[in-house]
Amino acid sequence: MIDPVQRREFLKLSALVPVVATGGALGVIGSAVAAPTEKTVAYQVNGRPFEGMIVYDSSVQTKRPIIFMQPDWYGVNADNIAQARLIAGKDYVVLMADMFGAGYAGKTKARPELAAAVGAMHGDLPLTLACGNAAFNALFAEADKLGIVDGRKKVAIGYCAGAGFLIEHARSGADFSAIVTFHITNPNPSFAGTPCNIKGRVLAIHGSADPVTPKAKMDAFADELTQAKVDWQVMMIGGMTHELNEKNRRKAYMLMRDFFTETL
């Protein structure tokens, strides 16, 4: 999760540090003029309206790999859209899931309300999976219609509570060749004994000082992945808490892009 001060710092960073189109690193965009584009996609889960978003650069004419993104507990809001724009750059198309319903992100919420929304989703595994699957299917169908994605290349990222939702989705056998989580909340199964059918590689980027998800939970997550014979890595960043900030975001995103480059 990112507090308002850290959000402002992120927006400053996103203006100063665009993503290059080659090489899997962060740097300065070349001669082509970027055209960041967002497209809202409406869909339903059990009759309830949801609104995910496709984020991409419309100046790029080639089909790009997909990054399915599960944002933090703020949902599809302006700050997470800015983050998706930074990640997409010219290399990827980001499909950002809505896990809380249309209109959720537009309402200001205190921490107890945010925590209640996450808790309700986390405690209902069938709903978590239904929302994740519906989001991916609707967003992919629209992106494919636009002719901007290479459907053979699918990876995923998740932040905070969204990372926990993503891992549950992956446990169910979702077809992502690589998954990266950032300061994951709830890395362990919602229900004990849930089979681990993760198909792709996993990189968990985490903070050694994270007060929300301590090392013991990450160790249990690593044990689960090992037993399931998943190709996994946990990158502990010393002193990092439950956040990405101006000190560690650049490092985390370089690790992510290198991981995806190796995989794709």
Domains of the chain listed by start with CATH number? 36-263 (3.40.50.1820)
Q: Give Cβ neighbours of residue 176 (< 8 Å, ≥ 6 apart).
A: 68, 154, 155, 156, 170, 199, 200
Residue 232 pairs with which residues in a beta bridge? 202
Given this model, what pLDDT does residue 26 score? 40
Count how many residues are written for the chain.
Answer: 264
Dist. CA 48–CA 70, nearest whole Å: 19
> Quick check: helix, strand or coil at residue 162?
helix
**End-to-end C-alpha distance for the chain, whole angstroms:** 28
Given this model, what pLDDT does residue 32 score? 66
- Distances, alpha carbon 163 to alpha carbons 22, 70, 118, in Å: 26, 6, 12
Given this model, what pLDDT does residue 2 score? 46
Token pair for 195? 């089979």
> Which amino acid belongs to residue 252?
A
Q: Give Cβ neighbours of residue 193 (< 8 Å, ≥ 6 apart).
A: none
- Condensed to tens digits (0 to 9), the pLDDT of residues 88-131 reads 999 999 999 999 999 999 999 999 999 999 999 999 999 999 99
Given this model, what pLDDT does residue 11 score? 43
Collect the ranges in the chain with pLDDT lower than 50: 1-31
Dist. CA 172–CA 194, nearest whole Å: 9
Given this model, what pLDDT does residue 232 score? 98
Residue 233 pairs with which residues in a beta bridge? 203
Given this model, what pLDDT does residue 15 score? 40
Residue 53 pairs with which residues in a beta bridge? 40, 96
Dist. CA 227–CA 95, nearest whole Å: 30
Residue 206 pairs with which residues in a beta bridge? 236
Given this model, what pLDDT does residue 9 score? 44
> Quick check: helix, strand or coil at residue 65?
strand
Full-model pTM = 0.88
